[in-house]
Amino acid sequence: MRDRGFSATAVWVLIGINLVLFIATSINRDLIWFLGLQPAGLLDRPWTLVTNLFVHANIWHILANMVTLFFFGSFFCRLVGVRNFLITYFAGGLLGNILFILLASSYSVAIGASGAIYALAGALAVMMPKLRVLLYFIIPMPLWVVVLVFFVIWSFIPGVAWQGHLGGLVFGLAMGFFLRMRRRYYY
């Protein structure tokens, strides 16, 4: 694909919004319920389809998501451009939220950027299947293995919205195939 004049601005803006909302929700924990996605409350708070992507439960939750967003997001944005990065990120997050609404308990609450980040990881795994990453900055392995292993592990931890992860991953895989085909026939 042609050079799209990569800028990490989009990734940094997303990280910044997540950090600001993390500080706000740390000060006022009621904001988590106001901004988090709860299927039973969706008609009263429709904005939560998007705002929940920027809310995190604790320091480890936001740290893991933002580190992953920085590395995968920067690489993906450089590969496909800001527009396709943002489409993949938000559409993956939204599809994850839709699956959460359909498959989770009506009174559970989903928060976090994981579905959107799984979309980026899934798209990258399809577009660059031989890409090797350092798991925990130490163990080299193919990205697709890391994505699969973490999806399976996180799916069995109580309280984790695996539905959001699945929706994001499915969208990311589809977007990766689309972008890979488009890239193949670009020239």
- Which spans in the chain are helix H? 9-27, 30-35, 48-51, 59-68, 74-80, 82-103, 114-127, 143-155, 162-184
DSSP symbol at 55: -
Q: Report helix angle 59-68 to 114-127, nearest 10.
A: 30
Place of tokens 């931890």: 157
What number does CATH give the domain 9-184? 1.20.1540.10
Determine the Cα–Cα distance for residues 81 and 176; give it in Å rounded to an integer: 13
Token code pair at residue 162: 């695996």
Which residue type, as a one-letter code, is found at position 179?
L
Q: What is the pLDDT along the chain (187 residues), one digit of tens a residue?
A: 444 555 678 999 999 999 999 999 999 999 999 999 999 999 999 999 999 999 999 999 999 999 999 989 999 999 999 999 999 999 999 999 999 999 999 999 999 999 999 999 999 999 988 887 766 667 788 888 777 877 788 777 888 888 999 999 999 999 999 998 877 654 4
Cβ neighbours of residue 123 closer than 8 Å, sequence gap 6 or more: 76, 80, 88, 172, 173, 175, 176, 179
What pLDDT score was predicted for residue 19?
98
* Per-residue pLDDT, 187: 42
pTM of the model: 0.89
Place of tokens 């292993």: 149
Alpha-carbon distance of 147 to 90, in angstroms, equals 19
> Rounded to whole angstroms, what are the CA distances from 78 to 61, 73, 105, 112?
25, 8, 38, 24
pLDDT at residue 3 in the model:
44
Distance CA 48, CA 108 (A): 13
Q: Give pLDDT, residue 6.
A: 55
